[in-house]
């Protein structure tokens, strides 16, 4: 509504609230605008639900009932400034703007501010008293403003511009509709907040402005204040309040688990179990934290208890199957996944885990079949395409790998692993240019991916871009000083490259020795490279010695024996080896 200058500069009636004299400039509802701005900023921060600052902020502004009972009393006020959806904040701020334009100038800013703060606390307290949580949003305050204006409209005729028959029917009708929707289970609304807010505003309006039903209104205010105090400190009618210590430990444990603090989560959940030993969720969550710490035996123990208490708890079967697979007991894992699928035939997580389990058991067709089922259930399941593509890669079906990875990239263009696997498949098909493009993208998305640098180095090497290959192998080692294959490949290029400017025998010896050290001198391929490095350095006696040693590892050198003997003969003739 448009803001209007108020003509009278005195009280609102013979015994009404005193107001400051003001002109048009003082009619601007700055407090209302400030509240709208605060609510708007908080809502904007929450548009990204993964924004860590907002997650912490929302937990602070909207503490659970158990937290309020433990001392987080500010939540009675701050929860009113948080909104969960665009329509939610739009509805509340629209009415706040209209009511605030009338109430703030007539009350005076300080009294108006105190009124809306008190309304927020009273409405949140009532919701907490009846539903064990405060709820969120400014609607309780909006209804308080409506209640006040409804009571005071006869002594402040200006209010009648907004509080007319249409508005009264609309807001009271909405209140009743919300109650019906909640009772029927269609939609859960904070009706306690709405009703208490309305009663608070109506009692304030009658007791201090309209001067009607004064004693009854003051009694109503005292009851609302008492209810708010009790909601924060003493609620013997609430089962949640009676079990508040156990619930508090439960919520703390789950919160710690979500932030990765699993040791602390286990401690909190154990205390919760001591207070509520039949709560199935406690065993499930503690089991999850045990699993995250690698203690799968204890996770299985907790999930056993979970299933004992709730035999159809599907997620417990999935997690227990995962724990069994981690312990290498794949048959038990399969039994749990089968049971989970029996209980919920559309649970994709069970098919994915069972598919991986089948693969580990060597049942490749069953593994692929499970991933096919996931994709049938959800054609946009990124993980299913990726894992199936990985399995096809291991089966050397590189064309099918590329098809699946194309789908992954279509669904998630920011997944570096998809580009890297796509590149590896292209590399095996001899499409080195495409492989380099894929590795470029993988590195762009993850500049610290040593495997992508190494793979790109191989592709550059195959295309005889030796300088680029040397740079990529060097970068791989920089990122991971224990990347054995990179040491060997770099030493090989520096020893055997047909381009003289790319060879460096001294560096080749250093890198080849490091590869041998990391593998405890057991790998003939690395010893073979060391021999080539010595030959490049014209130390043919050492080259012969190390090549002979490589040939001496019979079982490991068998498949490369002919090549090794050819190089040994070159070194005896005092000739280095060159790649063609």
Is the residue at 324 inside a domain?
no
User: How many other CB atoms sit within 10 Å of the CB of residue 449?
Assistant: 21
Is the residue at 487 inside a domain?
no
pLDDT of residue 24: 33
Q: Which of 191, 211, 237 is the last residue of a domain?
A: 237
pLDDT of residue 66: 87
Q: How far apart are CA 446 and CA 484, in angstroms?
A: 21
Is the residue at 131 inside a domain?
yes
CA angle 259, 265, 267 (to 5 degrees): 160
Q: Which of 237, 270, 289 is the last residue of a domain?
A: 237
User: How many other CB atoms sit within 10 Å of the CB of residue 509?
Assistant: 22
Q: How far apart are CA 163 and CA 224, in angstroms?
A: 24
pLDDT of residue 56: 83
pLDDT of residue 307: 97
Q: How far apart are CA 318 and CA 300, in angstroms?
A: 11
Q: How far apart are CA 148 and CA 497, in angstroms?
A: 88
Q: How far apart are CA 198 and CA 182, in angstroms?
A: 18
> What's 503's DSSP letter?
-
Say if CB 435 and CB 423 are below 8 A apart. Answer: yes
Say if CB 66 and CB 116 are below 8 A apart. Answer: no
Q: What SS3 class is residue 329?
A: coil
Closest by alpha carbon to 117, among 203, 41, 31, 215? 31
| Alpha helix segments (H runs only) across 395-523 | 398-411, 416-428, 432-445, 450-462, 466-479, 484-496, 505-518
Is the residue at 200 inside a domain?
yes
Is the residue at 137 inside a domain?
yes
Total domains present in the chain: 2
Helix (H) or strand (E) holding 270: helix 262-275
> Residue 223: CB partners within 8 Å, gap ≥ 6?
none
pLDDT of residue 228: 96
Is the residue at 30 inside a domain?
yes
- CATH code where residue 119 lies: 1.20.1540.10
> Residue 290: CB partners within 8 Å, gap ≥ 6?
262, 266, 296, 298, 299, 302
Residue by residue, DSSP assigns 68-101 as HHTT-TTHHHHGGG--SSHHHHHHHHHHHHHHHH
Q: How far apart are CA 158 and CA 6, in angstroms?
A: 9
Closest by alpha carbon to 449, among 418, 404, 407? 418
Is the residue at 96 inside a domain?
yes
Cα 91 to the center of its chain, rounded Å:
29
Q: Which of 237, 271, 299 is the last residue of a domain?
A: 237
The region that residue 19 occupies, defined by phi over 0 for left and psi between -120 and 50 for alpha, beta otherwise, is: beta
Question: Phi and psi of 144, rounded to 5°?
Answer: -65, -40
Is the residue at 308 inside a domain?
no
pLDDT of residue 580: 83
> Residue 307: CB partners within 8 Å, gap ≥ 6?
313, 316, 317, 320
CA angle 141, 65, 178 (to 5 degrees): 45
Say if CB 6 and CB 27 are below 8 A apart. Answer: yes
* Residue-range definition of the domain harbouring residue 209: 25-237
> Residue 56: CB partners within 8 Å, gap ≥ 6?
none
The secondary structure of 450-482, three-state, reads: HHHHHHHHHHHHHCCCHHHHHHHHHHHHHHCCC
- CATH code where residue 534 lies: 1.25.40
Q: How far apart are CA 332 and CA 419, in angstroms?
A: 35
User: How many other CB atoms sit within 10 Å of the CB of residue 477?
Assistant: 20
Q: How far apart are CA 515 and CA 82, in angstroms?
A: 58
Say if CB 235 and CB 133 are below 8 A apart. Answer: no
Question: Phi and psi of 399, rounded to 5°?
Answer: -65, -45
> Residues for the chain: how many in total?
580
Walk along the chain (580 residues) and give the pLDDT tens digit of each residue.
Answer: 333 332 333 333 333 333 333 333 457 999 999 999 999 999 999 888 676 787 788 889 999 998 899 899 999 999 999 998 999 999 999 999 999 999 999 999 999 999 999 999 999 999 999 999 999 999 999 999 999 999 999 999 999 999 999 999 999 999 999 999 999 999 999 999 999 999 999 999 999 999 999 999 999 999 999 999 999 999 999 988 988 989 889 989 999 999 999 999 999 999 999 998 899 999 999 999 999 999 999 999 999 999 999 999 999 999 999 999 999 999 999 999 999 999 999 999 999 999 999 999 999 999 999 999 999 999 999 999 999 999 999 999 999 999 999 999 999 999 999 999 999 999 999 999 999 999 999 999 999 999 999 999 999 999 999 999 999 999 999 999 999 999 999 999 999 999 999 999 999 999 999 999 999 999 999 999 999 999 999 999 999 999 999 998 876 555 678 899 999 999 999 999 999 8
For 435, the token pair is 């492989």
Q: How far apart are CA 317 and CA 335, in angstroms?
A: 9
Q: What is the pTM of this model?
A: 0.68
Q: How far apart are CA 28 and CA 100, in angstroms?
A: 10
């Amino acid at each position: 509504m448009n803001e209007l200058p108020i003509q009278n500069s005195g009280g609102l009636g013979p015994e009404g609230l005193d107001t400051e004299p003001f002109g048009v400039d003082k009619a601007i509802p700055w407090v209302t605008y400030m509240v709208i701005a605060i609510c708007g900023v908080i809502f904007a921060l929450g548009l990204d639900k993964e924004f860590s600052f907002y997650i912490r902020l929302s937990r602070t502004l909207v503490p659970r009932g158990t937290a309020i009972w433990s001392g987080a009393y500010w939540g009675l006020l701050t929860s009113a400034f948080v909104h969960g959806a665009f329509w939610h904040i739009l509805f509340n701020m629209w009415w706040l703007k209209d009511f605030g334009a009338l109430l703030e100038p007539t009350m005076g800013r300080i009294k108006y501010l105190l009124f809306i703060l008190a309304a927020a606390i009273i409405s949140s307290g009532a919701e907490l008293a009846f539903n064990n949580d405060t709820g969120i949003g400014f609607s309780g305050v909006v209804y308080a403003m409506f209640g006040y204006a409804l009571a005071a409209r006869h002594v402040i005729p200006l209010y009648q511009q907004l509080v007319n028959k249409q508005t009264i029917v609309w807001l009271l009708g909405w209140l009743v509709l919300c109650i019906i929707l909640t009772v029927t289970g269609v939609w859960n609304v904070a009706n306690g907040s709405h009703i208490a807010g309305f009663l608070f505003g109506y009692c304030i309006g009658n007791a201090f402005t309209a001067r009607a039903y004064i004693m009854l209104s003051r009694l109503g205010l005292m009851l609302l204040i008492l209810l708010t105090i009790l909601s924060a400190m003493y609620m013997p009618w609430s089962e949640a309040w009676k079990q508040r210590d156990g619930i508090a430990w439960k919520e703390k444990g789950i919160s710690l688990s979500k932030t990765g603090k699993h040791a602390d989560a286990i401690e909190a959940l154990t205390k919760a179990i001591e207070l509520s030993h039949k709560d199935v969720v406690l065993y499930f969550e503690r089991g999850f934290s045990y699993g995250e710490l690698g203690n799968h035996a204890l996770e299985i123990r907790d999930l056993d208890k979970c299933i004992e208490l709730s035999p159809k708890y599907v997620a417990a079967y999935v997690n227990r199957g995962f724990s069994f697979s981690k312990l290498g007991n794949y048959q038990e894992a399969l039994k749990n996944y089968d049971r989970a699928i029996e209980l919920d035939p559309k649970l994709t997580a069970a098919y994915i885990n069972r598919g991986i389990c089948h693969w580990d058991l060597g049942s490749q067709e069953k593994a692929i079949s499970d991933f096919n089922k996931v994709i049938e259930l959800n054609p946009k399941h990124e993980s299913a395409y990726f894992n199936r593509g990985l399995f096809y890669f291991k089966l050397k079906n590189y064309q099918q790998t590329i098809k699946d990875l194309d789908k992954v990239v279509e669904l998630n263009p920011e997944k570096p692993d998809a580009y890297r696997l796509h590149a590896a498949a292209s590399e095996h098909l001899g499409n080195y240019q495409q492989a380099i493009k894929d590795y470029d993208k993988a590195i762009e998305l993850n500049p610290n991916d040593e495997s992508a640098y190494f793979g790109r180095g191989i592709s550059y090497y195959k295309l005889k871009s030796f300088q680029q290959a040397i740079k990529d192998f060097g970068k791989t080692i920089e990122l991971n000083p224990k990347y054995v294959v990179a040491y060997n490949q770099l030493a090989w290029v520096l020893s055997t490259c047909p381009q003289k400017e790319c060879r460096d025998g001294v560096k080749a010896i250093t890198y080849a020795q490091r590869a041998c050290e990391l593998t405890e001198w057991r790998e003939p391929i690395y010893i073979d490279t060391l021999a080539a490095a010595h030959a490049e350095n014209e130390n043919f006696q050492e080259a012969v010695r190390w090549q002979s040693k490589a040939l001496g590892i019979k079982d490991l050198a068998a498949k490369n024996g002919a090549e090794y003997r050819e190089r040994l003969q070159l070194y005896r003739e005092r000739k280095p080896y060159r790649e063609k």
